[in-house]
Structure 1
């Protein structure tokens, strides 16, 4: 149970990092186009 909880939190943190990375990329693309 505890192991699954830690794994779940790690996955959530990874998803968040991916989302932030994607957002930063989108912003960079917008600036590059303007």
Structure 2
């Protein structure tokens, strides 16, 4: 899971326009508790 977090952080750093949609998707996933980080 830590590798996923690092990969995601690197992706957001390289593609900053995608930061907000990624945060929204992660927050939605957390609310469903299917993708609990």
Q: Which has the larger radius of gyration?
A: 1
- Which interval holds the TM-score relative to the shorter structure? 0.3 to 0.5
Q: TM-score, normalised by structure 2?
A: 0.44
Which structure has the highest helix share of the two?
1
Q: TM-score, normalised by structure 1?
A: 0.47
